[in-house]
Chain A
Amino acid sequence: MTASGDTLIEARDLVKDYPMGESVYHALRGVSLTVRRGEFIAIMGPSGSGKSTLLHLIGCLDTPTSGEYVLAGSPVHTLAPDQLAELRNKEIGFVFQTFFLLPRANAVENVELPLIYAKIPPAQRHHMAMEALEFLGLQTHAAHRPNQLSGGQRQQIAIARALVNKPSLILADEPTGNLDSKTSENIMGLLVRLNQMGNTLILVTHEPDIAAYAPRQVRIRDGLIVSDELVGTPGKGGGS
C-alpha cells in the first residue's frame, strides 16, 4: 500500500449536464476535488444536490460533460465505456445502499464476481473470495444465498466483494440506508477499520451521524461544493 500523501483522485472543474427536453439540467456546475490515498471522505448533501452524479463520475460509471478527472493516473474523462469498465474492475470497489447482490448466486460467488471480469482463474478466484469472507468472519455463510442472510450480512458480503480485487478506492453510497441503527454502527465500524488498514474510502450520505465517521467532510449543494473541511472524529483515518 502506498504511503498517504499520494494523490489518488484529481478532479478539476467537473461539469455534468443532462438534457431535459428543450432545456439542460446542470447536475454539476464545476466541482474540483483532490483525494490522497488513505483518506476517508464523506460527501454530504440533500437529494438533488448533485452528490449522486459526483459519485457516478468518481466511480467511473459516467464521464463528465467537461472538466478533467484523473484516477490513479488514468485520465477518466477521455476513456471509452469498455476502458471505464476495466478501470472500475481494477481500481474501484462499490458498496451500495441496497447491496446489489446477485440473487441466484451464493455469497462466495457474489464476492468472486469482480474477479471473473479480471480474468482470474476459478480456483484462485475462489481462494481470494474466501479470504475476503474470512476477513469479515463470514466464511461459514459462503454457501448461503442473499435471501438467506440478514441485511447486515448482505452488506458485509457486498463489502467483501468491494474489497476482493484490492481496489485503490472504495465507494460507499448510503451504505447504511437500509439497515437498522445497531447494524449501521457495525458496518460503519467495519468501514473505519478498512480505512485504518490503509484503504481510501469515499462515503456518500445525507445523514450527519453517518458522515461523522469520516475525518473529512465535503458538502455539496446545487452542483457545487459549499464546504470541504477536516473534523476530528472517532474514525481517524489517514487524512492529511
Chain B
Amino acid sequence: MSAATRKEQIFGFWGSVAELFRIALRAIMGSKMRSFLTTLGIIIGVLAVVAVVSILQGVFQSFLGQFEALGANTLFIRPNYEMFSDRREGVRRLKLTYDDAQAVAQQVPDVRAIAPMLFRSDSIAFRSRHDTTTIVGTTEAYGPISDVNMETGRFLGPMDVDSRRKVCVIGHDILDKLALSDQCVGTEIQIGRDTYTVIGVVEKLGGAFGESDDDRIYVPLTSAIQQYGNDAANQLILLVQVRDAAHMDSAVERISNVLRRQHGLKFGQTDDFRTFTQEEVLKQIKTFTNVSTLIVAAIVGITLVVGGIGIMNIMLVSVTERTREIGIRMAVGAKRIHVLYQFLIESVTLSTLGGVIGLGAGWGVSLLTVWILRKTVSPTFPPAYVPLWVVLLSLGFAALTGAVFGVYPAVKASRLDPIEALRYE
C-alpha cells in the first residue's frame, strides 16, 4: 500500500468517527429504554463510586482543614492507651496530669505554650432546656494556641483558672441547644450539678462529624477538676505549641524526656504517652484516604466489569439483530473497519452516556445523603466534595469498559460475509 493512500485513510478517519458517532447516537436513541437498561450496570457502578467518594472526600477535606488550622507548630499528647488491650485498664494505670504540663512548660525552652485539656461529656441545662455536650476544662493558654476567636465576651483568663471560678465559654452550637440569645454573657447555666456563668461565645467554626468544636463548653481546668474529681484530672490531653515548627522533632524528643522523667520510666521502658504532630496526623489521614481510594477502585473495577458484560451481551444481540443492516452497509461500500468502528463507537458512546448519568445521579445521591445525615446524625456534617479526578476517572473507566467489552461484538460484526448478512432473516 502506498504512503499516499495510507495518509488518505488516516485523514478520513476522524471524519468517519464523527459520522459513526452520529450513527451510534441514532441507534442508541432509537431504543431508549433498552439502551438505558443496557448501560444500567455502568450507571449504578459510577453512581456508587461517586456517591461514596464524594462523601468520604468531603469528610477528609474537612478533617484536613481542621488539622491544618491546628498549625504546623502544635502537637498534642495523650496517655498511651494502646499499651493495654483493655482501655479501662489503661485509664486506671496511666496518668497525664497538670503537673506534667507544668514540668514540660518549665523545662523545655522550645515550648511556647501548653494547654492541658480535660474532656468530659456532661448534661447541660438552661431554664426548661436540657441537652448534653463536651465539657473542656483548660487554661487561658488554650485560646491563643487554638486561635480561638470570640463572637461576644472573652475567653478564660488566668484569674478564672487560679481562683476556680465557675465561669464558662460556650461554643456556637450551645446557643441553639439551650436556646440562648446572642446576648447571653452573664447568663447562668447548669453544667452537671454545678452552675456556671457564661463569659463568652466562640465564633462558629464548623467541623467534621459530630466532633464539632462548636458543640463544646470551655471551663477553667481547676473548676473542672473540682467538679469531676482526680480520676478525670489524671487523664488530661496536653495541647502544646512550640516556638519554631522547624524544630518540631527535637522539641518532641525533649518533651518526651521530661515526661519520662516525670513518670519515672526506666531506660528501655515504652513511653506511657503518645505525641501527635500535625504532620503525623495528616500522614495518618492520607494513609486512610489512600486505603479507602483503593477499596473504591476495587469496587469500581468489579462493577464496571459487571456493567461491561451487560453491554457486551446486548451488543452481541444488537449485532445479530442488525445483521441485515450490516449487509446493506457492506453492499454499498462499508469496509470492515467501518463496521468495526460503528459498533465499537456505539458501545463506547453507550457506556460513556451511562457514566455521565451515573455521575449526575451519584452527585444527587451524595447530596441527599449529606442532607439526611445533617438532619439525623450531625448538623455540621461536611458537604460532599467531588474532586475532578473522580469525574475523569469514572468517565474514563466507563468509556474504557465500553471499548473493551465492545471489541468482541464489533469484530464479530465486521467479520460478517456481506452475502450471508444480506440473506439473514
Contact = CB atoms under 8 A, between A and B. Distances in A.
Does chain A bind chain B? yes
A118 interface: yes
A117 B336 CA distance: 11
A72 to B, nearest CB: 14
Interface stretch (A88-96, A128-136, A229-237): A88-96
Given A102-B325, A104-B27, A104-B30, A119 B12 contact: yes
Given A100-B328, A119-B12, A119-B15, A114 B419 contact: no
A113 B332 contact: yes
A81 B333 contact: no
A82 B336 contact: yes
A116 interface: yes
Contacts of B327: 100
A165 B332 CA distance: 10
Nearest to A110: B328
Interface string B315-354: 0000000001101111111111110000000000000000
A51 interface: no
How would you classify the secondary structure of chain B's contact residues: helix, strand, loop or mixed?
A: helix
Given A104-B26, A116-B19, A161 B333 contact: no
Interface in B402-422: 418-419, 422
Interface in A109-123: 113-114, 116-119, 121
Interface residues on A, range: 20 to 34
B16 interface: yes
Contact of B329 (A86, A90, A113, A119): A113
A105 B329 CA distance: 12
A62 interface: yes
Given A102-B325, A117-B338, A119-B15, A161 B331 contact: no
Nearest to B334: A117
A173 B26 CA distance: 30
Contact of A86 (B15, B333, B418): B333
Contacts of B334: 85, 117
Interface in A173-197: none
A82 B332 contact: no
Nearest to A114: B332
Contact of B333 (A96, A100, A118, A121): A118
A62 B423 CA distance: 14
Nearest to A89: B333
16 contacts: A61-B419, A62-B419, A85-B333, A86-B333, A88-B332, A89-B333, A94-B331, A96-B422, A102-B325, A102-B328, A104-B26, A105-B26, A116-B19, A119-B12, A119-B15, A119-B16
Given A85-B336, A89-B333, 14 more contacts: A62-B419, A81-B335, A81-B336, A82-B336, A85-B335, A94-B331, A100-B422, A102-B325, A104-B26, A113-B332, A119-B12, A119-B16, A121-B15, A165-B333
Interface of A: 56, 59, 61-62, 81-82, 85-86, 88-90, 94, 96, 100-102, 104-105, 113-114, 116-119, 121, 161, 165
